[in-house]
Amino acid sequence: MKLRKDLPVHKIKMGHLLVSHLSYSEILSQIDESIHESIQITIGCVNVYYFIESRKNRAIAALYNSFEILHPDGVGVRSALRFLYSKETIKEKMTGTDLYYKILYQADRYRWSLFLFGDTQEVIQEAKKEIENEYPNITICGAINGYDKIENDDIVRQINDTKPDILFIGLGLPRQEYWIGQHRSEVHVPVCVSVGGGIAFISKLRKRAPALLRKAQIEWLYRLFQDPFRLWKRYILGIPYFIYLMIIQKLKISREI
């Protein structure tokens, strides 16, 4: 399958990353086009945590920048882009999880097929049930969890044999990025989406914040309270550091004007 290298996506520089300047509807339009033309695109997201981790590991940054679409995930990244570039940025509130649900809605509408790769077997099974119940026109043509020791050649073979339109890859950072970088040219799927913990949210085994908190754009705070021992460094230390990096970039931009 050909890789899409001519995708007309305007990207904005945020630190060492190139973040796509696309709305939800524009991303869905690109997905639709890639499936119809059988030309592959890879979609990922960047939030504050992913940005900081990719700054520590430039190999991950290079992989992100090779994605045709790298969309801003959450209020932190959107606020940073507005701070850096003012009116040039998308005003739409975007999160990775919301995008995954919009992709599922579109897949149901057009009867696309989906392959799930990642997370635990329990999560995979529950995600399949939820998708079959809520999006009955989607064909789930295969599913592999991210913990069984299956050779990558066998994973690629299973994916290609089922010929999905969309592949959701949820192995967590940085496993999913490395896997995509190593195998995307071997996988014959029009749309590869790096979803992080998205499969767990789809399964409903991992609860999203209440709608009121999502509307207030503080879903991250809900996640922090859910798992404070694992996430406190990510938010309590990571957010101030991210703000510092954005101020430094803003000062550099101001000097160049």
**Tens digits of residue pLDDT in 212-254:** 778 877 887 888 888 888 888 888 899 999 999 999 999 987 6
Mean pLDDT of the chain, nearest integer = 90
Identify the domain containing residue 223 by its residue range: 2-256
- How many CA atoms does the CB half-sphere of 37 hold within 13 Å? 14
Mean pLDDT of 190-206: 95
The total of structural domains in the chain comes to 1
Higher pLDDT residue, 215 or 154?
154
For the whole model, what pTM was predicted? 0.92
Of 252, 234, 236, the closest CA to residue 52 belongs to 234
pLDDT in tens, 60-103: 999 999 999 999 998 899 999 989 987 666 777 889 999 999 99
CATH code: domain of residue 214: 3.40.50.10700
Residue 229 has what pLDDT?
A: 83
Q: Strand runs (DSSP E) across 102-241, as ranges?
A: 113-118, 139-144, 166-170, 191-194
Decide if pLDDT at 135 tops 60. Answer: yes
Residue 212 has what pLDDT?
A: 79
